[in-house]
Amino acid sequence: MKKILLSFLSLLCIGSLAACKDNSNPDDNNTNNEGPNKTIESIVLDDSAVSKSFYLGDEFNSNGLKVLINYSDDSTLDVTGDCQVDSSNFDSNFVGDYVINVYYSTDTIFKQMEYSVEVKEIIPELTTKYVVGLELTEPTKTEYLATEELDLTGLAAKAIYSDGSTKDLTSQDYQVDTSKIDMNIPNDYYEVVVSYSETYQLNGHSQTLTVKNGVYVSVSDVLESISVNTNNLNIVEQYKDIDISGWTITATYVSELSRPVDNSLVTITYDKNTVGEQTAVVTYVENNVTATADVTIVVEKSDEEALEEVFFTADSLTTGSNEANFVWMDSTGAYKIDVLAASGKGVTIDGSNKTADDGTSFTQRLKLGGSGSATARSLVLDLSMYADKQVQITVYCMSSSSGSDRVLDIYQDAFKNGTALGSFTALGASLSMTTITVDGGNVYALGSPSSGVNVYGIRISVVA
């Protein structure tokens, strides 16, 4: 049992064990001074002369510690040299209270004793001012795109002291830590950590006080490309908008990261009126960067016949020049187009025999005379009665110059002041026919973006 106990004590004392000073040299078992009339009364630790107060960074010592054996005849024996001091709990890097264990043992005696020490800061005891904080001015640039180089121009620091005073610091005074920032990986809250240190002295002790603060920069990824998987959902009925909610659209970025795109944020462009296989263009815009992808879709012929058809022919108009607004009625007299004209920007109707590719023949034309505006040389179609329906607008027109092809633009709302939707072809050499499908329930305006276009007829077909 004795050997086991001594082995335990040997292991326990490994590490931060410091031998107490030995002021005497008793016998090995410290019992030779005992006799029939002399016995051990107590073993006591005398810490009255030992240092119990340390500052941050100080090295531990047990100088002045004593361990004494008190005998029944009032004699004492100093056994400090035979004890072990265990300071393994002590850590001068942190403020706090620590227990120091002291062990004394022989073949017949084991005694554990302890006392407490304190690690404290010198700062509260200073009578001079000391640094308590750091005020930062953030750099000029704090928002980046991935792969851009970090630029800390404009970063400034000011030390704040316990008495409320401040000191402007130079870039050599403080340290900047950007080790956790990766400019290739997007993050809204990368922290640039700034630290500043001052060292203070008190009664032969020194302590370095460090204050820190940070500013934040963001790194946004840069869109590089998109890929589209239709998941075999690439068939759409003529005149309908294709449903892409089941498609998988993935964006890839310069950081080489990829993530799914919200399908509602993309646009898809194709000809909904033309039956057959065609290439649709999917477009996605992020942070002013546009990425597109081509996909194959199939437009199948609609089983629905035209619900209604309205035809406007220039043959029904009165020839002559018009410098004021007038109404163009359809062939039945039930529907109208407002023709906008103004003084100096007149619209003329005259004779011209032309036949379109679909066999429709005309004997007159409406000459817009030049570029259109919201108030002159434009045509206004009110299709509000066709809400929730698809409407085809077919325009028969030619350029007023035989040697120059032109177009007739269509806008929702007012010409050039609304939303541009597309263009009708106006060839110089022959009468052309172009069809554009629009949403019913809106007002549309047609006009030339520049130079004259002659309109022979307009056909309105409600298809769904």
pLDDT for res 358: 86
For residue 305, name the pLDDT band (cuts at 50, 70, 90).
Answer: low
Mean pLDDT computed over 80-89? 95
The correct answer on CATH 2.60.40.3630 for the domain covering 2-120 is yes
The correct answer on CATH 2.60.40.3630 for the domain covering 223-300 is yes
CATH topology of domain 308-462: Jelly Rolls (2.60.120)
Asked if pLDDT for residue 418 goes beyond 60, the answer is: yes
For residue 7, name the pLDDT band (cuts at 50, 70, 90).
Answer: very low
> Cα(257)–Cα(274) distance, rounded to whole angstroms?
38
% the chain with pLDDT above 70: 91
The hierarchical CATH code for the domain 127-220 is: 2.60.40
Residue 142 CB neighbour total at 10 angstroms: 15
Domain limits of the chain? 2-120, 127-220, 223-300, 308-462
Q: Tell me whether the CATH fold assigned to 127-220 matches the one assigned to 308-462.
A: no
Residue-wise pLDDT tens digits, 425-438: 999 999 999 999 99
Residue-wise pLDDT tens digits, 374-417: 999 999 999 998 998 889 999 999 999 999 999 999 999 999 99
